[in-house]
Amino acid sequence: MDNVQETKVALVTGASRGIGKACAIALAKAGYKVVVNYNSNDAAAQETIKAIEEAGSEGIAVKANTADLKAVQDMMRTVVKTYGKIDLLVNNAGICKDEFVLMMSADTIDQCLDINIKGYLYCAQAAALKMFSKKKGCIINVSSVSSVFANEGQTVYSSTKGAVNAMTMTMAKELAPRGIRVNAIAPGFIATDMVDQIPEEIQLKNIEKIPFGRYGTPEEVADTVVMLASDACSYITGQVLVIDGGLSL
């Protein structure tokens, strides 16, 4: 944990549930004020805020579809109006629609590309513009092990996460001279609503493929995010850190 002198401010997209919620709570415990972005579930977002307060920090919930540029720009204005700055963006809001390549619908392709790629770019650009003047900041993009390890049914999803890895490297190079670090994490199977949608027999087969013999927890991913955001990792940029219990080995 950093010895936070001036309280840092983090924006976590998709923080009403799952990995994003765990990141918001872990960052609150590490001393950050946290902006909780979400798309639809007001009550769930308020639950995250409650957990942030129980962790001894504070936060606000901001409803915004990250695939909507204007909504993202308005959200960033709200962040800066409320807290004066942004130190950390966790680009996490994403969707997964498993469809075999021959069955893929145009809707699935559009939705996944809009949220998982355009949404990440909109948020990263909006955050970097605010970090730029301070010459300091950190962006962590939540990718997936599917970007480096083929899972049947995930042609669209893995394409979007491969794009996240590529944008991470390029942004890292462009923003390093401005003091902004950009990294990605690539979780394997993590026990959230996203994985709950997978039929039970496929889940059992998935677990057999994981050397640790279990799914990861959102908290294990969140701890990695806190570590990557901390000064302990101040010389790390442009990397994709896989957190998958050995699945991709």
- The residues that are catalytic are 157
Closest to 101 measured CA to CA, from 148, 150, 155, 149: 155
Rounded least distance, CB 223 to ligand NAP, Å: 15
Q: Which stretch binds ligand NAP (CB under 6 A): 128-136, 173-181, 183-191, 230-238?
A: 183-191
Give the length of the chain.
Answer: 249
Rounded least distance, CB 153 to ligand NAP, Å: 14
Per-residue binding letters, 88-117, with ligand NAP (x by CB under 6 A): ----xxxxx------------------x--
Name the burial class of residue 107, with classes exposed (0-12), middle (13-18) and buried (19+) by CB atoms within 10 angstroms of its CB. Answer: exposed
Contact 185, 164 (CB under 8 A): no
Site for ligand NAP contains 195 (CB under 6 A): yes
Site for ligand NAP contains 171 (CB under 6 A): no
End-to-end CA distance of the chain: 29
Per the structure block, which two tokens stand in for 139?
């962006």
Site for ligand NAP contains 67 (CB under 6 A): yes
Rounded least distance, CB 136 to ligand NAP, Å: 25
Report how far apart, in Å, the C-alpha atoms of 160 and of each of 108, 142, 145, 155 are. 12, 11, 12, 9
Q: Give the nearer residue to ligand NAP in terms of CB position, either 3 or 79.
A: 79
Site for ligand NAP contains 147 (CB under 6 A): no
Closest to 187 measured CA to CA, from 232, 225, 154, 234: 225
Contact 101, 22 (CB under 8 A): no
Site for ligand NAP contains 190 (CB under 6 A): yes
Backbone angles phi, psi at 45, to 5 degrees: -65, -40
Site for ligand NAP contains 184 (CB under 6 A): no
* The binder of ligand NAP chosen from 38, 168, 224, 247 (CB under 6 A): 38
Q: Which stretch binds ligand NAP (CB under 6 A): 27-35, 49-57, 86-94, 98-106?
A: 86-94
Q: Which residues bind ligand NAP (CB under 6 A)?
A: 13-20, 37-41, 44, 65-67, 92-96, 115, 119, 142, 144, 187, 189-190, 192-195
